[in-house]
Structure 1
Amino acid sequence: MRITGKMDSKNDTFGHRFEMKQLLGRGSSGEVHLAFDTYAQRDVAIKMNRLSLFDDPVAGNRNRKMWLNETRLAGKLQHPFIVQIFEAGSTDEFNYIVMEYMAGGSLKQFTVPDKLLPINRLIDILYKVCNALDFATKMGVLHRDIKPANILLGADGDVKISDFGAAFSIESDLTQVDMVGTLPFVAPEHFRKALPSQQNDIYAVGVMAYQLLTGRYPFTAKSPEDLIYQKLNEEVMSLEGWRSDIPQALRFAVHRAMHPDRELRYTNWRAFFDDLVAALPQIAIPEDSRFDSTRFNSMRKFSFFADFSDNELWETLDISRTLTMGTGKTIIEEGKIGNNLFIITSGEVVVSKNGKEINRMKAGDCFGEIGYLDEVRHLRSSSVTATTALELIEVEGKSLRRASDGLQSRFSKALLTLLVKQMRNTDQMLFSMMGIE
């Protein structure tokens, strides 16, 4: 299908707001264009569908439902690994959706044997996909069309899920679409008329992982009928049959995710992505490589981040870095200017004031909060020195003040809780010195 006529003067149709730059793709339902939004001053992708698609006697109703699904989810699924929809609307000629532009293409380019991604990179991608789908599930939404073509990459290599047109609402506030999905990624229970669940999406991610690891589908069927039969009655070929370098933990996770028996498949996303991360230690990774999935999992363990949502943790990752320091290294110095925060992930430090020790901290503790909270001077009230080999998360103060209101509020609450705890500990020490219980 090609959109012509008024589409040749698209700038007129869009009131001169969007400058069309190039055609990104064309399918049976419409076109996707790269454009520049002159209002927001950013590149965007615009999906355009002919209005006549809704009048098609065979697929019109389904097309309408899928378009409504995608537009109604705008604003609901705000997550760092889900493509953001900015707006949607209609002209006299077509419906359109304006969304985030992902310059790196899709994962489909890495589904052939000679272009496979490194295993450690793939685990990191799968972890983020699972995390985003876990978020969607908690919001009451199942994707139902997970496949490499719907996982997009940014220019920086980051990953985001697209195309929620086939989404199913657990709470039924979306327009439900009956026959959906791409056959190799559809769970067997779908053909038994089972009610959709998150395990359908888990199965699809398992099949996608298999394809991205081997460059092949896990099925040998030559026809749709044979494929459905294989899904319902036969086991897939083991990953070991294609590659010998896949870690055992990863093989286990992928095969469990795509198990034909729903009772033996993962029942939730958390268990799935925990097993994915467990596979990373089995891979030889350069010491200076730290994947976001590993950092995210590490942060989730500490009490300081206990009340942070997944979105807030991912946003924290964007404004932080991991540091390693040796014994005796001074991290912050009393009287110096600084407003960065530090959370200890391993090791211990001593806190001193006027050369005298006043506290010791260990993994999970946070310091540097006074310099951050003192918006006028940003002066360090004490010195902090490593007493062992040390690993830290450093959160940049300036970036935190420019972060979302939600993240700033979450940090403020966490720091307030920390200060109250420190005040109570100080009171107890003073009372103990005075002989008061």
Structure 2
Amino acid sequence: MSQGSHIGRYRLIRKLGNGGTSVVYLGHDPVEDREVVLKLFKQAFLYDPKNGKQNRRQLEIEAALAGKLVHPNIVTTYEAVISDSMSYIVMEYVAGGTLEKHIYPDNLLPLDRVVAYMYKCCRALNYAQFNGVIHRDIKPANLLLANPDEIKIADLGAAVRTDLEDTQNSVGSPNYMSPEQVRGDELTHSTDIYSLGVVMYRLLTGRSPYTPKNLAHLYQQILHEMPIPPTQHRTNLPPQLERIVMIALQKKPGDRFATWGDFGNQLAALGHFEKSDMEINENEKFTALRKLKMFQDFTDIELWELLRVGEWQKQPAKTLLLREGELGDAFFILADGGVTVSRNNRLLNTLSSGSIFGEMSYTSRKQMPRSASITATTEVTVMKILPGQLDQLSDRCQLHFNQVFLSTLADRLRVSDDRLAKIAT
């Protein structure tokens, strides 16, 4: 296709790359008036006699993820089109290139920049896991520089939804594959932790953790040989930084960081960001709930019960927390911060600390399509609760929570009624 041609509504500006599976273009979206990246898949890739079925399934997964993950450190997928005549993905354009140019000894980044980038990757992958997604192909080519301070994770085409997909699949790039990927074992977020550890090793040393003779030898090294400590390649590395890399590169998933929060907090201790940005300790949770008007009559014992049944997260502004139309079976308590409520890109409401959203999942006790999208306007602290988790509470605490829950919803309905009455008059 030539400059000035169109794919769908998008005008092509220039070709960015041509690979075995797709051609990538820079394009312009006239509706949103923004530059975008269009990844046009080759039909031979999608209809290959041997792997075509798997390739199409991979594209369907990426299409299903379109718009689901909205985070400042994840490349946004705007649209995915799959048809017999043409299949393509439309993504956010990130102009700064990839981290690939910084994995060589003569072009290494400053240490503080590496720590900051890896920390932001931890936050993004923590958010992805929170939404049931494992990337499975973390490598420098998939880490894009938005500006000198920002990084974005790209290419979720290899990702899986842990609630929908078979995670027993070794998709990935050989140099960055975890031992469990090589073996074809079931994958968890720990495989991404390992792969990010390999990326970090290369950014710090300019060398690969392994020196194989061929692909089979590489797999053997990944499975059985621990990499040379980074300080043997770069003597001025801080010991704490080496320790973080080596924990991420452990052969057994159970020996690595248990969570992205653990990984990120170790990096935070070396950088200039708050340790609590990713993880909320028990005392912080208690304090957050105690400040909320809806829980002011709870006893301390009831509050401690409640804070332990949900999953807590901190997420930055502009993060999409719920997506309109998507099935969900959890509801959320906004412990701190603010969010917008929108439908069909129209603002319906704003919510602040103490609000509940996604509540239809609790009242119906089954998966329900989300009636609106919820997006963070500030950094937020949210508590995600599956209805069944409340069954773990004592009878007294359950009763008290149900009273508060219904009272909160009644207050919201009253506000909505008042707003409609004003509009009517």
TM-score after normalising by structure 2: 0.65
Question: Which residue is 2:198 aligned to?
Answer: 207
Question: Which residue is 1:11 aligned to?
Answer: 5
Conserved 8 A contact 2:143-2:152: yes
Does 1:154 find its partner at 2:146?
Answer: yes
The 5-angstrom pairing of residues 1-80 of structure 1 reads 7-8=1-2, 11-14=5-8, 17-80=9-72
In 2: Cα distance, 1:48 partner to 1:102 partner = 17
In 2: Cα distance, 1:408 partner to 1:251 partner = 34
Question: Which residue is 2:101 aligned to?
Answer: 109
2:231 to 230, 233, 240: 240
The 5-angstrom pairing of residues 173-184 of structure 1 reads 173-174=164-165, 178-184=169-175
Conserved 8 A contact 1:248-1:279: no
1:13-49 CA-to-partner distances (Å, cap 9, x unmatched) read 43xx322111111110011111111111011111100
Gap change, CA 1:13 and 1:148, over 3 Å in 2: closer
Question: Which residue is 2:242 aligned to?
Answer: 251
Does 1:88 find its partner at 2:80?
Answer: yes
Shift of 1:169: 2.3
In 2: Cα distance, 1:257 partner to 1:13 partner = 42
1:53-93 CA-to-partner distances (Å, cap 9, x unmatched) read 22111221121121111111112211111110111114664
Question: Which residue is 1:198 aligned to?
Answer: 189
Conserved 8 A contact 1:296-1:313: no
Does 1:270 find its partner at 2:264?
Answer: no
1:402-433 CA-to-partner distances (Å, cap 9, x unmatched) read xx86437969xxxxxxxxxxxxxxxxxxxxxx
Conserved 8 A contact 1:24-1:34: yes
Q: Which protein shows a greater Rg?
A: 1
Return 5+ residue gaps in structure 2 as ranges. Answer: 290-311, 320-336, 338-373, 382-425
Amino acid at match of 1:39: V
Shift of 1:190: 2.7
Worse overlay, 130-139 or 189-198: 189-198
In 2: Cα distance, 1:102 partner to 1:409 partner = 23
Amino acid at match of 1:154: A
Amino acid at match of 1:264: D
2:213 to 216, 222, 232: 222
CA-atom RMSD in angstroms: 3.0
The 5-angstrom pairing of residues 117-136 of structure 1 reads 117-136=109-128
Question: Which residue is 1:164 aligned to?
Answer: 156
Does 1:141 find its partner at 2:111?
Answer: no
Does 1:310 find its partner at 2:314?
Answer: yes
Shift of 1:249: 1.2
Conserved 8 A contact 1:33-1:46: yes
Aligned residue pairs, count: 305
Question: Which residue is 1:99 aligned to?
Answer: 91
Shift of 1:230: 1.2
Gap change, CA 1:232 and 1:209, over 3 Å in 2: same
Amino acid at match of 1:407: T
Identity %: 34
Question: Which residue is 1:424 aligned to?
Answer: none
In 2: Cα distance, 1:276 partner to 1:314 partner = 23
Gap change, CA 1:256 and 1:31, over 3 Å in 2: same
Question: Which residue is 2:277 aligned to?
Answer: 297
1:209-244 CA-to-partner distances (Å, cap 9, x unmatched) read 001111111001121111111122222101110112
Conserved 8 A contact 1:23-1:34: yes
In 2: Cα distance, 1:52 partner to 1:10 partner = 25
TM-score after normalising by structure 1: 0.64
In 1: Cα distance, 2:15 partner to 2:287 partner = 43
